[in-house]
Amino acid sequence: MIRVVYPSGFRLAAALLLGGAASPLWGQAPAAQADTVDRIVAVVGNTLILNSEVDEEFLSRYPRPEDAPPAARVPEIKRQVLQEMVDLELLYQRALSDTMVKVTEEEVTSAVDQQVRNIRQEYSSDQAFREELRKTGFATPEEHRRWLTERQRKQLMTNTLIEVLRATQKLKPVIPTEREMLAFWDLQKDDRKRPGTLSFRQIVIAPQPSPEAKARAHQLIDSLLVVLRGGADFAEVAAQYSMDQGSKEQGGSIGWFRRGTNIDPRFEDVAFRLRPGTISDPVETPFGIHLIQVERVQPAEVLARHILIIPDITQSDADSARAKADRVLRDLRAGASFDSLQRLYHDPMEEREIREFPTDRLLPAYVGPMAGLQAGGISEVFVLQNPMGPLRSKFAVVRVDERREAGEFRFEDVKDNIRSTLGEQMALRRFIDGLRAATYLEVRGP
């Protein structure tokens, strides 16, 4: 998907050449209803696009009744959806014939795994998840996964094709005229609002477990390691004992990942040295203590599971963290260096600096403490609640670097970004038009 990247949170609705990514539970299942006669609305080479597929894509963009456009506009929007689907199919067919475009099954599986995990976490139980699938027309999670897999494969192939075309300079640069840029700008009349933003730094202090609590956690992880190396199933042990709520129901699976992701470097170093099927010695990170099992390896990427054990935190540990946060605040107000205190006390699992963050998207915990703070202002100590329990809550102090009030963007604010991104879109549009001219194409309309 091609988007315009605007400064300071500017988010105009760009004129997309490719359709937006659909939420997997939006709309209906891929198949038409049994009592509906489907029809062909376009032929692209040897591929048919069905009316039910256009309906499905339309519903993916307007998943809730309150999102739906006025009924009078629906036919026009569906025609646009169909044109975008034709463009995507043309690019996909071109990608299939290009020997430089390579997408592995592991990449597709990894993308689908992540998408399934993200969706599953929104439901309290497997039963609730399955019921929602049935409401959207999928008989089973397996059917839903097959549908997701096909969509992900096509999207990855087309994205890779565009990267190859750019790298080989087959997308000829196009420099839009001032008139074309202004015309693009005029299309965005309803989306020129610049949100209010905050730039700030923070010191977040987490309760630290005692040496005795760490020793007990190590004893537990050592006993699990003995069981696993004795032949126990890693996924079953993870589901029973792991304290990582985001992965335990998937048997500890964290999917495919590359170096330099949000995973701790110590974790990555061990994971990338393991042979498939082997289980690591205990690995301690700021998250806790891990056991890691690598399932598959490909260049620069591994598929892994882990078990996480987090040492206990007592009331005394929590009180000590609060007292430390209070001392940090006193030192800051006495003129101490924010950067120095941040280096000494900040929890490495939390962001150190946040730039131009929309004020209407602040987490509730930040809203009150940051209300009215201008550049240079320092908040009171406030609590960041932890879902694992109040004793694990963290304590934060924030200093505002800049506050920008909401307003409206001007053309001059985004002119350079529009020029570069619109130029890329026009280059891709020209390439697609060439594919249209060289491919058998019949569009009958939805």
Residue 290 domain-assigned (yes or no): yes
In a domain, 2, yes or no: no
Of 309, 331, 360, the one marking the end of a domain is: 309
* Residues 40 and 169 occupy one common structural domain: yes
**What is the chain's pLDDT, residue by residue, as a tens digit (446 residues)?**
222 333 333 222 233 333 333 343 433 444 444 445 689 999 999 999 999 889 888 877 886 677 788 989 999 999 999 999 999 999 999 999 999 998 888 888 888 888 888 777 777 777 788 887 777 667 888 888 888 898 899 999 999 999 999 989 888 889 999 999 999 998 887 778 888 999 999 999 999 999 999 999 999 999 999 999 999 999 999 999 999 988 888 899 988 888 777 678 899 999 999 999 999 999 999 889 999 999 998 877 889 999 999 999 999 999 999 999 999 999 999 999 999 999 999 998 899 999 999 999 999 999 999 999 999 999 999 999 988 889 999 999 999 999 999 888 889 888 998 999 899 999 999 999 999 999 999 998 77
Find the length of the chain: 446
DSSP-assigned beta bridge partners for residue 403: 198
- In total, how many domains does the chain have? 3
Name the token pair of 9: 């949170």
* Structural domain of 93: 7-191+411-443
Please identify, among 309, 326, 350, the residue that sits at the C-terminal boundary of a domain: 309
240 and 389 in a single domain? The answer is: no
For residues 260 and 356, membership in a common domain is answered with no
Regarding whether 144 and 43 lie in a shared domain, the answer is yes
- Of 445, 406, 434, 444, the C-alpha closest to 93 is 434
CATH code for the domain in which residue 270 is found: 3.10.50.40
Distance in angstroms (rounded) separating the CA atoms of residues 303 and 292:
11
Residue 1 lies in a domain: no
CA 95 – CA 435 distance, rounded (Å)? 12
Instruction: Judge whether 121 lies within some domain.
Output: yes
Residues 203 and 152 in one domain: no
The 253-258 sheet, strands edge to edge:
253-258, 301-309, 288-298, 283-285
153 with 18, same domain: the answer is yes
Return the structure tokens found at 279.
């289980």
C-beta of residue 354 within 8 angstroms of C-beta of residue 200: yes
Distance CA 236, CA 147 (A): 28
